Amino acid sequence: MSNWAWLDGVFLAADQARISPFDRGFLFADSVYEVTAVYDGRPIDMERHLARLDRSLKELGFSHQPDPAAIKDVHAELIARNQLAEGLIYLQITRGAYGRRDFVAPGGAALRPTMFAFAEAKPIIDTAAARDGVAVVTVDDIRWGRRDIKTTQLLASVLAKTEARSRGAADAWMVGPDGLVTEGASSNAWIARRNGEVVTRALSNDILAGVTRNTMMDEATAEGAVVLEQSFSVEEAKNAAEAWISGAGGLIVPVVELDGAKIGDGRPGPIVRGFQRRYFAAIGVDVAAAAPWALQLGRTG
């Protein structure tokens, strides 16, 4: 965990940060957040994180919109103060604390949002998950109907991750009543069909518009890859050539097992390796030095 945090405009020791128990983020999950990956002391995809933050706040009707330049400065200062070379910056904005529990919050000039951010040092490029892939299990998607807003209502995701851990897996894929995969507990879900088509669910209220997902889409388009924004079933995923998840916390992680069934031959394949190489290079990673395994064509070990 970081030594320095930021709370309502003040940098302070992380263990000294205090938020009111009347805060609406605590009482109602009336809050939004962003997690931005950091590599080589630089935030990754910062503009897209800021755009999604702005959208989430507007969708929840926040009358206060923080200055994007100020948020950038906070990230830069947290990186510097914590000497963060590789890891994550977490930012949360709530509708504030007013000394009472009222379903209807003050608005307009009366709004006093709580803004909190901290840093976490952790490897995000050369990890066992990125190198070797992970096992995933499926769970029923019990979340609310506006998953496209990045709120802190994460209890369903917590339960899904906990169930995955109890079943010996690293993550969970949410499945709707129609039998179609929506997304991971904290990531977007992808498969590659045996004909080479790459498939990920189309953007809607059902899933979050992942920042890593959208950057991957740009990279794929630039390379001329075929990426289809379509829904897919659990059975289609089990029979896919490859599968993976994307998100700021792990960037691009191969999925080699789903509900106990191997995906392909149970090892990361050439398509996900290509996405890893392109994405890492796009964010300034020296792939040969930091992730030489990503230079393999896949399934060569």
The yes-or-no answer on residue 150 being catalytic is yes
We report the CATH number of the domain holding residue 95 as 3.30.470.10
> What digits encode the pLDDT tens for the residues 182-226?
999 999 999 999 999 999 999 999 999 999 999 999 888 877 778
Residue 43 has pLDDT above 80, yes or no: yes
* Whether residues 155 and 274 fall in one domain: yes
Domain presence at residue 301: no
Q: Phi first, then psi: what are they for 108, rounded to 5°?
A: 60, -140
DSSP conformational letter for 299: S
Of 71, 86, 121, which one is at a domain's C-terminal end?
121
Domain presence at residue 262: yes
Q: How much of the chain exceeds pLDDT 90, in percent?
A: 91
* Whether residues 166 and 257 fall in one domain: yes
Of 132, 140, 127, 98, nearest to 273 (Cα)? 132
What pLDDT score does 300 carry?
39
Of 121, 137, 164, which one is at a domain's C-terminal end?
121
Query: Six-digit token pair at 15?
Result: 């263990």
N-term to C-term CA, the chain? 35
* Whether residues 99 and 234 fall in one domain: no
Domain presence at residue 300: no
Residue 1 has pLDDT above 70, yes or no: no
Of 70, 93, 121, which one is at a domain's C-terminal end?
121
Domain presence at residue 158: yes
Within 40-159, strands assigned E span 42-43, 86-94, 114-121, 134-140
* Whether residues 143 and 277 fall in one domain: yes
d(CA 43, CA 62): 25
Range of the domain at 104: 4-121
* Confidence label for 299 from pLDDT (cuts 50, 70 and 90): low
**Which residue among 58, 72, 122, 150 is the active-site one?**
150
Task: Look at the block and give the residue holding tokens 């080479």.
Answer: 196
Query: Six-digit token pair at 183?
Result: 């997304």
* Whether residues 96 and 162 fall in one domain: no
d(CA 63, CA 103): 16
* Whether residues 135 and 115 fall in one domain: no
Count the domains in the chain: 2
Amino acid at 249: G
* Whether residues 132 and 116 fall in one domain: no
What pLDDT score does 18 carry?
97
**This prediction's pTM:** 0.93
* Whether residues 34 and 53 fall in one domain: yes
Of 104, 101, 99, 97, nearest to 19 (Cα)? 97
> What digits encode the pLDDT tens for the residues 242-274?
999 999 999 999 999 999 999 999 999 999 999
CA-atom Rg of the chain in angstroms: 20
> What digits encode the pLDDT tens for the residues 92-147?
999 999 999 999 998 888 999 999 999 999 999 999 999 999 999 999 999 999 99
What pLDDT score does 220 carry?
84
Domain presence at residue 60: yes
* Whether residues 76 and 93 fall in one domain: yes
Displacement of CA 106 from its chain's centroid (Å): 30
Number of CB atoms found within 10 A of residue 159's CB: 15
What pLDDT score does 147 carry?
95
What pLDDT score does 64 carry?
82
Domain presence at residue 117: yes
Beta bridge partners of 37: 88
- CB contact at 8 A, 35 and 126: no
Domain presence at residue 173: yes
Mean pLDDT calculated for residue range 62-81: 95
* Whether residues 243 and 196 fall in one domain: yes
Mean pLDDT taken over the chain: 95
Task: Look at the block and give the residue holding tokens 């935030």.
Answer: 43
We report the CATH number of the domain holding residue 286 as 3.20.10.10
DSSP conformational letter for 176: -
Domain presence at residue 28: yes
